[in-house]
Amino acid sequence: MAQVKRSIDHHGVIGDLRTCALVANDGAIDYFCWPDLDSPSVFSALLDSDEAGIFSLTPAWQAYRRQQLYLPDTNILQTRWLAAEGVAEITDYMPICAQQDSQPRIIRRLKMVRGEARFHLRCAPVHDYARAATQASLQDGAALFCAEGQPDLRLTASVPLTLDRQAAVASFTLRAGEHAEFIFGSAQDEHLDNLHTDICFQETLRYWRSWCQKSNWRGRWREMVKRSSLTLKLLTSWQHGSIAAAATFGLPEETGGERNWDYRASWIRDASFSVYALMRLGYVDEAKRFTHWVGRCVEHSQQDPARLQVMYRLDSTTELHESELPHLSGYADSRPVRIGNDAWRQTQLDIYGELMDAVYLANKYGEAISERGWRNVCNTINYLC
């Protein structure tokens, strides 16, 4: 497949503390794993071509400038197109999942600010890292995407949808002040049928801004510190308390190189540093939940409960077997594309010191360590000695 040229630095990220999606500044969602951060991808165009899964939404203007920004103190992303014919913007976000059985969903709200434009939409998920034969159909005005052995997905829209091969497509015109909405998620999610999302938007806006207000940072570079902390929070699992090293797999350390690892796991070292940063900013709840997650990791260790692994799965289980996806051409032809990470088998003794530092700081600034947690610490240090 031919590689579509979307530079990684021309993307923003949205998420719901369970998974994340990357949104390019041309209006395309070209990376999304569903329903969890370490689940198989359904949009993988970033690592191949649009045939590997894409959700694009663009104006039919010949020439325009693009801007991408976050609403202040949030992880709600706006992409703008500015042309002689007018100005349009799309707001992308994922509502925060507050229930364990709730399913992630992407909400896209397209608004015509000035002028008039014809827009083209194409939503073509491909399940299981673009390995499955996803079939699209229309059902009660919505697009349904199914593949054998994979979760069913659905797109609802405020404009009529049609099918083009295995993709949902639409072409429509918006004038100044008009808008269109699209919701993508589980086929069984009743929330997808509610296209009046004003309340959902306000709740998501309130969540992120309320979280930001907990920061006690009063030093320099406040906006940079705030944006960095919001990104760290996006990588934090509300369900497990783990902190992922990154939201992505298969992106290269060096363009065209072979070091294209899967970072959708929690490294003890990286996560400990992240917890330290969040804690010093005043986010002690994240430190408390991370400490509990580490305790579960220790209990899941199969060889020796006192022996720490370099990294763990986000749900605290231990094995992350590595494999390659040869059918994907890779970002800018960087091969091979890998999922899983065999680094979990390595021994790196520095992780004990970094973990103990995080435990100490969590105990100092947050919740006191439990007796059970203290026994785990003692056993781990005895093992290290």
273-285 core/surface letters (b: 16 or more CB in 10 A; e: else): bbbbebbebebbb
243 shares a domain with 196: no
Give the pLDDT of residue 97.
61
- What is the separation of C-alpha 66 from the centre of its chain, rounded to a whole number of angstroms? 22
Give the pLDDT of residue 20.
98
Tens-place pLDDT, residues 326-356: 999 999 999 999 999 998 888 888 888 888 8
Last residue of a domain, one of 158, 179, 209: 209
What domain count does the chain have?
Answer: 2
List C-alpha distances in Å: 303 to 8, 319, 345, 378. 39, 12, 11, 17
154 shares a domain with 44: yes
Cα-trace Rg, the chain: 22
Tens-place pLDDT, residues 60-90: 999 999 999 999 999 999 999 999 999 999 9
CATH code for the domain in which residue 29 is found: 2.70.98.10
Reply yes or no on whether the pLDDT at 99 is more than 60: no
Reply yes or no on whether the pLDDT at 15 is more than 50: yes
Give the pLDDT of residue 375.
85
Q: How many Cβ atoms from other residues are within 10 Å of residue 101's Cβ?
A: 5
269 shares a domain with 137: no
174 shares a domain with 263: no
Last residue of a domain, one of 209, 227, 246: 209
CB 157 within 8 A of CB 145: no
Is 3 inside a domain boundary? no
Reply yes or no on whether the pLDDT at 306 is more than 80: no
For range 88-104, the mean pLDDT? 83
Give the pLDDT of residue 305.
60
CA–CA separation, 2 vs 132, rounded Å?
19
128 shares a domain with 101: yes
Tens-place pLDDT, residues 119-128: 999 999 999 9
* Mean per-residue pLDDT of the chain: 92
Identify the weakest region by mean pLDDT among 175-179, 254-258, 297-301: 297-301
Is 2 inside a domain boundary? no
Tens-place pLDDT, residues 360-370: 877 887 778 88
For range 192-220, the mean pLDDT? 93
187 shares a domain with 40: yes
For range 213-237, the mean pLDDT? 95
Give the pLDDT of residue 1.
45
263 shares a domain with 203: no
Domain housing 242: 217-384
CA–CA separation, 287 vs 366, rounded Å?
7
Reply yes or no on whether the pLDDT at 100 is more than 60: no
Percent of the chain beyond pLDDT 90? 74
List C-alpha distances in Å: 80 to 2, 57, 77, 132, 357. 27, 12, 10, 33, 43
Two tokens at 344? Answer: 């979990």
